[in-house]
A and B are shown apart, each in its own frame.
Chain A
Protein backbone atom coordinates (compact mmCIF):
# COMPACT_ATOMS: atom_id res chain seq x y z
CA UNK A 1 0.00 0.00 0.00
CA UNK A 2 1.28 3.45 -0.92
CA UNK A 3 0.86 6.87 0.61
CA UNK A 4 -2.53 8.52 0.23
CA UNK A 5 -1.21 11.94 1.19
CA UNK A 6 2.30 13.25 0.67
CA UNK A 7 3.22 16.70 1.96
CA UNK A 8 6.68 17.82 0.87
CA UNK A 9 8.49 20.88 2.23
CA UNK A 10 5.28 22.87 2.46
CA UNK A 11 5.80 26.55 3.23
CA UNK A 12 3.14 29.22 3.35
CA UNK A 13 3.49 32.93 3.96
CA UNK A 14 0.54 35.29 4.55
CA UNK A 15 2.34 38.46 3.52
CA UNK A 16 5.29 38.44 5.99
CA UNK A 17 3.75 35.97 8.40
CA UNK A 18 5.15 32.45 8.14
CA UNK A 19 2.22 30.07 8.66
CA UNK A 20 3.88 26.85 7.49
CA UNK A 21 7.58 26.24 7.71
CA UNK A 22 8.90 23.47 5.48
CA UNK A 23 6.32 20.91 6.61
CA UNK A 24 6.75 17.34 5.36
CA UNK A 25 4.46 14.42 6.14
CA UNK A 26 3.36 11.13 4.59
CA UNK A 27 0.02 9.50 5.34
CA UNK A 28 -0.11 5.83 4.34
CA UNK A 29 -3.26 4.54 2.70
CA UNK A 30 -5.93 3.44 5.16
CA UNK A 31 -4.41 5.12 8.21
CA UNK A 32 -6.24 7.61 10.41
CA UNK A 33 -4.00 10.52 11.31
CA UNK A 34 -4.74 13.32 13.76
CA UNK A 35 -3.24 16.75 13.12
CA UNK A 36 -2.79 18.54 16.41
CA UNK A 37 -1.46 21.92 17.36
CA UNK A 38 -2.37 25.10 19.23
CA UNK A 39 -4.37 27.89 17.62
CA UNK A 40 -2.41 29.40 14.76
CA UNK A 41 -0.11 26.38 14.50
CA UNK A 42 -0.87 25.96 10.80
CA UNK A 43 -3.38 23.09 10.86
CA UNK A 44 -6.11 24.81 8.87
CA UNK A 45 -3.58 26.28 6.46
CA UNK A 46 -2.24 22.77 5.76
CA UNK A 47 -5.72 21.38 5.13
CA UNK A 48 -6.70 24.32 2.93
CA UNK A 49 -3.63 23.80 0.75
CA UNK A 50 -4.48 20.09 0.54
CA UNK A 51 -7.97 21.03 -0.72
CA UNK A 52 -6.68 23.60 -3.24
CA UNK A 53 -8.41 26.43 -1.39
CA UNK A 54 -5.14 28.32 -1.02
CA UNK A 55 -1.78 28.03 -2.74
CA UNK A 56 1.44 27.16 -0.96
CA UNK A 57 4.33 29.60 -1.18
CA UNK A 58 6.53 26.58 -1.89
CA UNK A 59 6.42 22.80 -1.52
CA UNK A 60 4.14 20.13 -2.88
CA UNK A 61 1.08 18.15 -1.86
CA UNK A 62 0.12 14.89 -3.54
CA UNK A 63 -3.29 13.32 -3.02
CA UNK A 64 -3.35 9.69 -4.14
CA UNK A 65 -0.38 10.52 -6.33
CA UNK A 66 -1.91 13.64 -7.93
CA UNK A 67 -0.22 16.99 -7.41
CA UNK A 68 -2.90 19.30 -5.99
CA UNK A 69 -1.47 22.25 -7.88
CA UNK A 70 -0.89 20.52 -11.23
CA UNK A 71 -3.91 18.21 -11.29
CA UNK A 72 -6.40 19.70 -8.82
CA UNK A 73 -9.48 18.05 -10.33
CA UNK A 74 -8.02 14.55 -10.12
CA UNK A 75 -6.72 15.18 -6.62
CA UNK A 76 -10.02 16.68 -5.39
CA UNK A 77 -12.01 13.79 -6.85
CA UNK A 78 -10.26 11.54 -4.33
CA UNK A 79 -11.20 13.52 -1.22
CA UNK A 80 -14.18 14.37 0.92
CA UNK A 81 -13.55 17.35 3.17
CA UNK A 82 -14.94 19.54 5.90
CA UNK A 83 -12.97 22.75 6.23
CA UNK A 84 -13.77 25.19 9.06
CA UNK A 85 -17.52 25.53 9.58
CA UNK A 86 -18.75 25.41 6.02
CA UNK A 87 -21.91 27.19 4.98
CA UNK A 88 -24.39 25.68 2.57
CA UNK A 89 -26.57 27.60 0.14
CA UNK A 90 -29.25 28.74 2.55
CA UNK A 91 -32.02 29.09 -0.05
CA UNK A 92 -31.68 25.44 -0.98
CA UNK A 93 -32.57 22.30 0.97
CA UNK A 94 -30.05 19.62 2.06
CA UNK A 95 -31.22 17.46 -0.85
CA UNK A 96 -30.63 20.34 -3.32
CA UNK A 97 -27.17 21.08 -1.92
CA UNK A 98 -26.08 17.44 -1.87
CA UNK A 99 -27.53 16.90 -5.31
CA UNK A 100 -25.51 19.88 -6.63
CA UNK A 101 -22.22 18.67 -5.16
CA UNK A 102 -22.92 15.05 -6.08
CA UNK A 103 -23.59 15.94 -9.71
CA UNK A 104 -20.40 18.00 -9.86
CA UNK A 105 -18.63 14.82 -8.81
CA UNK A 106 -20.19 12.85 -11.65
CA UNK A 107 -23.01 11.18 -9.72
CA UNK A 108 -26.48 11.08 -11.22
CA UNK A 109 -29.95 9.55 -11.30
CA UNK A 110 -31.12 6.93 -8.85
CA UNK A 111 -27.62 6.24 -7.62
CA UNK A 112 -27.24 9.85 -6.50
CA UNK A 113 -30.67 9.98 -4.85
CA UNK A 114 -30.02 6.69 -3.08
CA UNK A 115 -26.66 7.94 -1.77
CA UNK A 116 -28.22 11.24 -0.65
CA UNK A 117 -30.91 9.37 1.32
CA UNK A 118 -28.23 7.13 2.78
CA UNK A 119 -25.92 9.90 4.02
CA UNK A 120 -28.80 12.06 5.26
CA UNK A 121 -30.01 9.07 7.30
CA UNK A 122 -26.46 8.47 8.53
CA UNK A 123 -26.25 11.98 10.00
CA UNK A 124 -29.86 11.79 11.21
CA UNK A 125 -31.27 14.70 9.21
CA UNK A 126 -34.12 12.81 7.52
CA UNK A 127 -36.80 15.10 8.95
CA UNK A 128 -34.95 18.16 7.70
CA UNK A 129 -34.01 16.96 4.24
CA UNK A 130 -36.54 19.20 2.48
CA UNK A 131 -36.23 22.25 4.72
CA UNK A 132 -34.25 25.28 3.53
CA UNK A 133 -30.87 25.45 5.24
CA UNK A 134 -31.50 29.02 6.45
CA UNK A 135 -33.47 27.34 9.28
CA UNK A 136 -30.55 25.11 10.36
CA UNK A 137 -28.48 25.40 13.54
CA UNK A 138 -24.69 25.25 13.46
CA UNK A 139 -24.69 21.63 14.63
CA UNK A 140 -27.14 20.63 11.92
CA UNK A 141 -24.98 22.28 9.28
CA UNK A 142 -22.00 20.37 10.64
CA UNK A 143 -23.94 17.11 10.31
CA UNK A 144 -24.82 18.01 6.76
CA UNK A 145 -21.18 18.84 6.08
CA UNK A 146 -20.31 15.32 7.16
CA UNK A 147 -22.99 13.98 4.82
CA UNK A 148 -21.57 15.89 1.82
CA UNK A 149 -18.10 14.70 2.74
CA UNK A 150 -19.18 11.03 2.58
CA UNK A 151 -21.63 11.38 -0.33
CA UNK A 152 -19.31 10.27 -3.13
CA UNK A 153 -17.59 7.61 -1.02
CA UNK A 154 -14.10 9.14 -1.33
CA UNK A 155 -11.04 7.11 -0.31
CA UNK A 156 -9.61 10.06 1.67
CA UNK A 157 -11.32 12.23 4.28
CA UNK A 158 -9.83 15.59 5.24
CA UNK A 159 -11.53 17.00 8.32
CA UNK A 160 -10.89 20.30 10.05
CA UNK A 161 -12.48 20.47 13.51
CA UNK A 162 -15.49 18.50 12.26
CA UNK A 163 -17.04 18.17 15.72
CA UNK A 164 -17.43 21.93 16.12
CA UNK A 165 -20.96 22.94 17.09
CA UNK A 166 -22.15 19.41 17.79
CA UNK A 167 -23.86 18.55 21.07
CA UNK A 168 -22.36 15.68 23.17
CA UNK A 169 -24.73 13.13 21.63
CA UNK A 170 -23.93 14.42 18.16
CA UNK A 171 -20.24 14.25 18.94
CA UNK A 172 -20.50 10.56 19.88
CA UNK A 173 -22.53 9.78 16.75
CA UNK A 174 -20.06 11.73 14.66
CA UNK A 175 -17.13 9.81 16.15
CA UNK A 176 -18.83 6.51 15.37
CA UNK A 177 -19.42 7.54 11.76
CA UNK A 178 -15.81 8.67 11.27
CA UNK A 179 -14.41 5.60 13.03
CA UNK A 180 -16.56 3.38 10.86
CA UNK A 181 -15.51 5.24 7.69
CA UNK A 182 -11.90 5.15 8.88
CA UNK A 183 -11.82 1.35 8.61
CA UNK A 184 -11.80 1.57 4.84
CA UNK A 185 -10.59 5.14 4.23
CA UNK A 186 -7.62 7.33 4.95
CA UNK A 187 -8.60 10.01 7.47
CA UNK A 188 -6.59 13.18 8.05
CA UNK A 189 -8.21 14.90 10.96
CA UNK A 190 -7.32 18.27 12.57
CA UNK A 191 -8.77 18.86 15.99
CA UNK A 192 -8.30 20.31 19.44
CA UNK A 193 -10.33 17.48 20.95
CA UNK A 194 -7.55 15.14 22.07
CA UNK A 195 -9.95 12.46 23.28
CA UNK A 196 -11.68 12.41 19.88
CA UNK A 197 -8.36 12.11 18.11
CA UNK A 198 -7.32 9.38 20.53
CA UNK A 199 -10.47 7.39 19.78
CA UNK A 200 -10.40 7.83 15.99
CA UNK A 201 -6.75 8.00 14.99
CA UNK A 202 -3.77 5.63 14.90
CA UNK A 203 -1.08 8.30 14.71
CA UNK A 204 -0.78 12.01 15.34
CA UNK A 205 1.26 14.79 13.81
CA UNK A 206 1.77 17.66 16.22
CA UNK A 207 2.69 20.99 14.71
CA UNK A 208 3.43 24.41 16.16
CA UNK A 209 4.41 27.66 14.47
CA UNK A 210 4.09 25.88 11.14
CA UNK A 211 6.72 23.26 12.02
CA UNK A 212 6.27 19.54 12.52
CA UNK A 213 7.19 18.67 16.12
CA UNK A 214 6.47 14.97 16.06
CA UNK A 215 4.76 12.38 13.90
CA UNK A 216 4.23 9.25 15.91
CA UNK A 217 1.71 6.56 16.81
CA UNK A 218 -0.58 7.40 19.72
CA UNK A 219 0.46 4.21 21.54
CA UNK A 220 4.14 5.18 21.42
CA UNK A 221 3.37 8.70 22.64
CA UNK A 222 1.32 7.31 25.51
CA UNK A 223 4.15 5.00 26.50
CA UNK A 224 6.64 7.83 26.39
CA UNK A 225 4.55 10.61 27.98
CA UNK A 226 1.86 8.70 29.94
CA UNK A 227 -0.99 10.24 27.94
CA UNK A 228 -1.66 11.99 24.65
CA UNK A 229 -2.59 15.14 26.54
CA UNK A 230 0.73 15.28 28.39
CA UNK A 231 2.60 14.58 25.17
CA UNK A 232 0.74 17.39 23.45
CA UNK A 233 1.32 19.89 26.25
CA UNK A 234 5.01 19.04 26.64
CA UNK A 235 5.71 19.19 22.92
CA UNK A 236 3.82 22.44 22.32
CA UNK A 237 5.31 24.17 25.35
CA UNK A 238 2.14 24.12 27.47
CA UNK A 239 2.26 23.65 31.24
CA UNK A 240 1.76 20.17 32.67
CA UNK A 241 0.31 20.22 36.20
Chain B
Protein backbone atom coordinates (compact mmCIF):
# COMPACT_ATOMS: atom_id res chain seq x y z
CA UNK B 1 0.00 0.00 0.00
CA UNK B 2 1.54 3.29 -1.09
CA UNK B 3 1.89 6.42 1.04
CA UNK B 4 -0.48 8.20 -1.34
CA UNK B 5 -3.21 5.62 -0.74
CA UNK B 6 -2.69 5.97 3.02
CA UNK B 7 -2.82 9.76 2.67
CA UNK B 8 -6.22 9.51 0.96
CA UNK B 9 -7.52 7.37 3.85
CA UNK B 10 -6.21 9.84 6.45
CA UNK B 11 -7.82 12.78 4.63
CA UNK B 12 -11.10 10.87 4.28
CA UNK B 13 -11.38 10.02 7.98
CA UNK B 14 -9.99 13.28 9.32
CA UNK B 15 -12.55 15.10 7.20
CA UNK B 16 -15.25 12.73 8.47
CA UNK B 17 -14.28 13.79 12.00
CA UNK B 18 -14.78 17.47 11.09
CA UNK B 19 -18.02 16.62 9.35
CA UNK B 20 -19.43 14.77 12.37
CA UNK B 21 -18.52 17.52 14.81
CA UNK B 22 -20.92 20.40 15.32
CA UNK B 23 -18.18 22.97 14.75
CA UNK B 24 -18.45 22.97 10.97
CA UNK B 25 -22.15 23.76 11.14
CA UNK B 26 -21.63 26.42 13.82
CA UNK B 27 -19.09 28.26 11.65
CA UNK B 28 -21.33 27.94 8.60
CA UNK B 29 -24.10 29.46 10.72
CA UNK B 30 -21.79 32.29 11.81
CA UNK B 31 -20.89 32.99 8.16
CA UNK B 32 -24.55 33.16 7.21
CA UNK B 33 -25.34 35.43 10.17
CA UNK B 34 -22.46 37.83 9.38
CA UNK B 35 -23.49 38.19 5.74
CA UNK B 36 -27.15 38.61 6.72
CA UNK B 37 -26.27 41.32 9.26
CA UNK B 38 -24.26 43.28 6.67
CA UNK B 39 -27.10 43.02 4.16
CA UNK B 40 -29.69 44.12 6.73
CA UNK B 41 -27.75 46.77 8.66
CA UNK B 42 -26.27 48.79 5.77
CA UNK B 43 -29.60 50.03 4.37
CA UNK B 44 -30.86 50.55 7.92
CA UNK B 45 -27.87 52.54 9.17
CA UNK B 46 -26.70 54.35 6.02
CA UNK B 47 -28.91 57.02 4.55
CA UNK B 48 -27.89 56.29 0.98
CA UNK B 49 -28.43 52.54 1.40
CA UNK B 50 -26.09 50.07 -0.28
CA UNK B 51 -22.85 51.49 -1.80
CA UNK B 52 -22.93 52.69 -5.40
CA UNK B 53 -20.47 50.14 -6.70
CA UNK B 54 -20.55 46.35 -6.40
CA UNK B 55 -16.86 46.13 -5.42
CA UNK B 56 -17.31 48.19 -2.27
CA UNK B 57 -20.33 46.09 -1.33
CA UNK B 58 -18.31 42.92 -1.98
CA UNK B 59 -15.58 44.25 0.34
CA UNK B 60 -18.15 44.94 3.04
CA UNK B 61 -19.63 41.47 2.69
CA UNK B 62 -16.30 39.66 2.70
CA UNK B 63 -16.06 37.65 5.90
CA UNK B 64 -13.28 35.48 4.45
CA UNK B 65 -10.38 36.56 6.70
CA UNK B 66 -12.35 35.96 9.88
CA UNK B 67 -13.76 32.68 8.61
CA UNK B 68 -10.32 31.49 7.56
CA UNK B 69 -8.98 32.12 11.06
CA UNK B 70 -11.97 30.54 12.80
CA UNK B 71 -11.84 27.58 10.44
CA UNK B 72 -8.10 27.08 10.96
CA UNK B 73 -8.43 27.29 14.72
CA UNK B 74 -11.43 24.95 14.84
CA UNK B 75 -10.07 22.37 12.43
CA UNK B 76 -6.35 22.47 13.13
CA UNK B 77 -5.93 23.61 16.72
CA UNK B 78 -6.24 20.05 18.01
CA UNK B 79 -4.85 18.29 14.94
CA UNK B 80 -1.48 17.43 16.44
CA UNK B 81 -1.81 18.35 20.12
CA UNK B 82 -5.13 16.49 20.39
CA UNK B 83 -3.55 13.14 19.47
CA UNK B 84 -1.17 13.48 22.42
CA UNK B 85 -3.49 15.19 24.87
CA UNK B 86 -6.50 12.97 24.14
CA UNK B 87 -4.43 9.76 23.93
CA UNK B 88 -5.94 8.88 20.55
CA UNK B 89 -2.33 8.68 19.36
CA UNK B 90 -2.03 5.37 21.22
CA UNK B 91 -4.29 3.92 18.54
CA UNK B 92 -3.35 6.01 15.54
CA UNK B 93 0.45 5.90 15.80
CA UNK B 94 0.63 2.12 16.14
CA UNK B 95 -0.60 1.75 12.58
CA UNK B 96 2.00 1.19 9.86
CA UNK B 97 1.82 4.73 8.53
CA UNK B 98 4.56 7.34 8.35
CA UNK B 99 3.89 10.15 10.79
CA UNK B 100 4.42 12.68 8.01
CA UNK B 101 1.54 11.07 6.07
CA UNK B 102 -0.70 11.52 9.11
CA UNK B 103 0.23 15.19 9.53
CA UNK B 104 -0.13 16.02 5.83
CA UNK B 105 -3.49 14.21 5.76
CA UNK B 106 -4.70 16.12 8.78
CA UNK B 107 -3.58 19.41 7.23
CA UNK B 108 -5.36 18.69 3.95
CA UNK B 109 -8.55 17.59 5.74
CA UNK B 110 -8.50 20.83 7.76
CA UNK B 111 -7.92 22.80 4.57
CA UNK B 112 -10.85 21.01 2.92
CA UNK B 113 -13.16 21.89 5.82
CA UNK B 114 -11.97 25.53 5.78
CA UNK B 115 -12.49 25.62 2.00
CA UNK B 116 -16.13 24.64 2.51
CA UNK B 117 -16.56 27.65 4.81
CA UNK B 118 -14.88 30.05 2.44
CA UNK B 119 -16.73 28.76 -0.64
CA UNK B 120 -20.02 28.99 1.26
CA UNK B 121 -19.26 32.60 2.19
CA UNK B 122 -18.34 33.57 -1.39
CA UNK B 123 -21.48 31.91 -2.76
CA UNK B 124 -23.56 34.11 -0.43
CA UNK B 125 -21.61 37.21 -1.53
CA UNK B 126 -22.11 36.32 -5.20
CA UNK B 127 -25.86 35.79 -4.74
CA UNK B 128 -26.15 39.08 -2.81
CA UNK B 129 -24.24 41.02 -5.48
CA UNK B 130 -26.32 39.47 -8.25
CA UNK B 131 -29.50 40.41 -6.43
CA UNK B 132 -28.44 44.01 -5.69
CA UNK B 133 -26.22 44.95 -8.66
CA UNK B 134 -27.06 42.23 -11.21
CA UNK B 135 -23.35 41.51 -11.56
CA UNK B 136 -20.51 39.59 -9.93
CA UNK B 137 -17.20 41.45 -10.48
CA UNK B 138 -14.24 39.36 -11.62
CA UNK B 139 -12.22 40.84 -8.73
CA UNK B 140 -14.25 38.60 -6.43
CA UNK B 141 -12.43 35.63 -7.90
CA UNK B 142 -9.06 37.23 -7.01
CA UNK B 143 -10.37 37.87 -3.52
CA UNK B 144 -11.42 34.22 -3.27
CA UNK B 145 -7.96 33.06 -4.40
CA UNK B 146 -6.28 35.27 -1.80
CA UNK B 147 -8.70 34.04 0.85
CA UNK B 148 -7.77 30.42 0.09
CA UNK B 149 -4.08 31.32 0.31
CA UNK B 150 -4.70 33.10 3.61
CA UNK B 151 -6.65 30.11 4.94
CA UNK B 152 -3.77 27.79 3.98
CA UNK B 153 -1.18 30.02 5.67
CA UNK B 154 -3.23 30.48 8.86
CA UNK B 155 -3.79 26.72 8.92
CA UNK B 156 -0.01 26.21 8.70
CA UNK B 157 0.61 28.59 11.59
CA UNK B 158 -2.12 26.86 13.65
CA UNK B 159 -0.51 23.50 12.86
CA UNK B 160 2.81 24.84 14.08
CA UNK B 161 1.27 25.97 17.36
CA UNK B 162 -0.55 22.64 17.64
CA UNK B 163 2.75 20.80 17.13
CA UNK B 164 4.51 22.66 19.94
CA UNK B 165 1.56 22.92 22.37
CA UNK B 166 0.85 20.43 25.08
CA UNK B 167 -2.89 20.82 24.61
CA UNK B 168 -5.39 21.87 21.96
CA UNK B 169 -6.58 24.86 23.94
CA UNK B 170 -3.03 26.23 24.11
CA UNK B 171 -2.67 25.96 20.34
CA UNK B 172 -6.01 27.68 19.78
CA UNK B 173 -5.26 30.55 22.16
CA UNK B 174 -1.73 31.02 20.77
CA UNK B 175 -3.04 31.19 17.19
CA UNK B 176 -5.73 33.72 18.05
CA UNK B 177 -3.31 35.86 20.06
CA UNK B 178 -0.72 35.72 17.30
CA UNK B 179 -3.07 36.73 14.52
CA UNK B 180 -5.41 39.17 16.21
CA UNK B 181 -3.10 40.70 18.82
CA UNK B 182 0.55 40.39 17.74
CA UNK B 183 0.01 40.67 13.98
CA UNK B 184 -2.83 43.16 14.38
CA UNK B 185 -0.78 45.57 16.50
CA UNK B 186 2.34 45.25 14.35
CA UNK B 187 0.41 45.79 11.15
CA UNK B 188 -1.37 48.87 12.51
CA UNK B 189 1.86 50.43 13.78
CA UNK B 190 3.80 49.75 10.57
CA UNK B 191 0.90 50.90 8.41
CA UNK B 192 0.40 54.14 10.35
CA UNK B 193 4.12 54.94 10.24
CA UNK B 194 4.38 54.27 6.51
CA UNK B 195 6.76 51.32 6.91
CA UNK B 196 6.51 48.07 4.92
CA UNK B 197 4.04 45.65 6.47
CA UNK B 198 3.50 43.01 3.78
CA UNK B 199 5.29 40.36 5.84
CA UNK B 200 2.74 40.48 8.66
CA UNK B 201 0.29 37.57 8.40
CA UNK B 202 -2.80 39.69 9.05
CA UNK B 203 -1.84 41.80 6.02
CA UNK B 204 -2.63 38.72 3.97
CA UNK B 205 -6.10 38.77 5.49
CA UNK B 206 -6.50 42.43 4.60
CA UNK B 207 -5.40 41.79 1.02
CA UNK B 208 -8.61 39.77 0.56
CA UNK B 209 -10.66 42.97 0.67
CA UNK B 210 -7.89 45.24 -0.63
CA UNK B 211 -8.05 43.49 -3.99
CA UNK B 212 -11.70 44.58 -4.24
CA UNK B 213 -11.37 48.22 -3.29
CA UNK B 214 -9.11 50.49 -1.24
CA UNK B 215 -10.00 52.12 2.03
CA UNK B 216 -10.68 55.66 0.76
CA UNK B 217 -12.87 54.42 -2.12
CA UNK B 218 -14.90 52.34 0.28
CA UNK B 219 -15.46 55.33 2.58
CA UNK B 220 -16.50 57.45 -0.40
CA UNK B 221 -18.92 54.83 -1.68
CA UNK B 222 -20.55 54.80 1.75
CA UNK B 223 -20.79 58.60 1.71
CA UNK B 224 -18.10 59.01 4.38
CA UNK B 225 -15.49 61.77 3.89
CA UNK B 226 -12.00 60.18 4.36
CA UNK B 227 -10.70 63.52 5.70
CA UNK B 228 -12.79 62.82 8.83
CA UNK B 229 -9.98 60.46 9.89
CA UNK B 230 -7.48 63.38 9.89
CA UNK B 231 -3.81 62.49 10.14
CA UNK B 232 -4.59 58.79 10.76
CA UNK B 233 -4.54 58.05 7.05
CA UNK B 234 -1.74 60.53 6.20
CA UNK B 235 1.01 57.94 6.02
CA UNK B 236 -1.25 55.16 4.76
CA UNK B 237 -0.11 53.59 1.52
CA UNK B 238 -2.36 51.08 -0.24
CA UNK B 239 -0.93 47.62 0.23
CA UNK B 240 0.92 45.73 -2.44
CA UNK B 241 -1.29 42.66 -2.83
CA UNK B 242 1.45 40.67 -4.62
CA UNK B 243 3.84 41.23 -1.72
CA UNK B 244 1.12 40.29 0.77
CA UNK B 245 0.66 37.04 -1.19
CA UNK B 246 4.41 36.39 -0.97
CA UNK B 247 4.17 36.96 2.79
CA UNK B 248 1.36 34.41 3.04
CA UNK B 249 3.33 31.84 1.04
CA UNK B 250 6.23 32.28 3.47
CA UNK B 251 3.96 31.62 6.47
CA UNK B 252 2.44 28.67 4.64
CA UNK B 253 5.76 27.00 3.87
CA UNK B 254 7.65 27.85 7.06
CA UNK B 255 4.66 27.11 9.30
CA UNK B 256 3.97 23.75 7.71
CA UNK B 257 7.61 22.67 7.54
CA UNK B 258 8.06 23.71 11.18
CA UNK B 259 4.95 21.82 12.25
CA UNK B 260 6.19 18.66 10.52
CA UNK B 261 9.58 18.96 12.17
CA UNK B 262 8.17 19.43 15.66
CA UNK B 263 5.40 16.83 15.24
CA UNK B 264 7.79 14.14 14.07
CA UNK B 265 10.01 14.70 17.11
CA UNK B 266 7.18 14.42 19.62
CA UNK B 267 6.92 11.22 21.61
CA UNK B 268 3.79 9.79 23.18
CA UNK B 269 5.13 9.01 26.64
Contacts and interface: CB of A to CB of B under 8 A. Distances in A.
A86 interface: yes
Interface string B236-254: 0000000000000000000
A101 B267 contact: no
Given A87-B86, A89-B17, A91-B21, A104 B94 contact: no
B210 interface: no
Given A54-B269, A84-B87, A85-B87, A91 B20 contact: yes
A72 B98 CA distance: 8
B88 A76 contact: no
Contacts of B9: 100, 103-104
Contacts of A45: 269
B93 A52 contact: yes
Centre residue among A14, A48, A100, A101 by max chain B CB count within 10 A: A100
A87 B91 CA distance: 7
Nearest to B102: A104
Interface in B158-180: none
Contacts of A145: 91
Contacts of B87: 84-87
A53 B94 contact: yes
Contacts, number: 78
Chain B CB within 10 Å, residue with most, of A83, A84, A85: A83
Contact of A101 (B1, B89, B91): B91
A14 B207 CA distance: 47
B67 to A, nearest CB: 22
Given A54-B267, A91-B20, A92-B17, A104 B90 contact: no
Nearest to A100: B13
A92 B94 contact: no
A33 interface: no
Interface of A: 14, 45, 48, 51-55, 72-74, 76-77, 79, 81, 83-89, 91-92, 96-97, 99-101, 103-106, 132, 145, 148
